Amino acid sequence: MDSKHIEKLLEKYWNCDTSLEEEKELREFFRGPVPENMNDVAAMFRYFDSQQKQQLTSPDFDATLKKKIKQHRPEGKVVKLVYFYSRIAAGLLVVVAATYFVRQEVRKAYPPEIADTYSDPKLALEETKKALLMISKGFNKAQKEAGKIKVFNEAEEKIQGKVLDEVKKTDGQI
């Protein structure tokens, strides 16, 4: 076989571009005598051939292999402990961060020195009355609006009552 053709096939093989037929051609070429510059590649292909020809020696190969894997498997206690402690550390970090941010918001809402806004108690009483009167007006307005909702609910109940009566009448006729 032409060595230039084999070199092109090898280039395709290393780039994973060969077809199954081309790989078969390479395997057949490397089974026979090869040029000295291709001895390493020939050894690799011969190794692949020898590994393909090997058979499992025992029918319970899978069970034996699983048993050996279990014998050599390291215990996962260290990993589990690291995972457990990292979860605790993450939880503590979240709690500390949340505490910090909540304290910052509380400090903004309630400054450390709350000064009196009014030095005259009578003026403070008048301002308080104004604020309470404003709240009272808001409640009265809300109460009027709630009355409208009550009328709507009563109308809805009447309509549903009529529909139920008609359904009962039609059920008796069928």
User: What does the alpha-carbon distance between residue 19 and residue 42 come to, in Å, rounded to a whole number?
Assistant: 19
C-alpha closest to that of 7 among 158, 117, 147, 30: 30
Buried b (16+ CB within 10 A) or exposed e, 4-35: eebeebbeebeeeebeeeeeebbeebbeeebe
3-state secondary structure of 87: helix
User: What does the alpha-carbon distance between residue 165 and residue 171 come to, in Å, rounded to a whole number?
Assistant: 10
- pLDDT score recorded for residue 171: 64
Evaluate whether 7 touches 26 at the Cβ level (below 8 Å). Answer: no
User: What does the alpha-carbon distance between residue 46 and residue 33 come to, in Å, rounded to a whole number?
Assistant: 12
3-state secondary structure of 18: coil
Evaluate whether 12 touches 18 at the Cβ level (below 8 Å). Answer: yes
Please compute, for residue 47, the number of CA atoms within 13 A of its CA located in the half-sphere on the CB side: 6
Structure tokens at 91: 């939880």
Per-residue pLDDT of the chain (174 residues; tens, 9 = 90+): 578 888 898 899 989 988 999 988 988 888 888 888 888 888 888 888 888 877 766 778 788 888 888 877 666 566 677 788 888 999 999 999 999 999 988 888 776 665 666 778 888 888 889 989 888 888 888 888 877 788 878 888 888 777 767 766 776 554
For residue 91, the surrounding DSSP H or E stretch is helix 77-109
User: What does the alpha-carbon distance between residue 38 and residue 61 come to, in Å, rounded to a whole number?
Assistant: 36
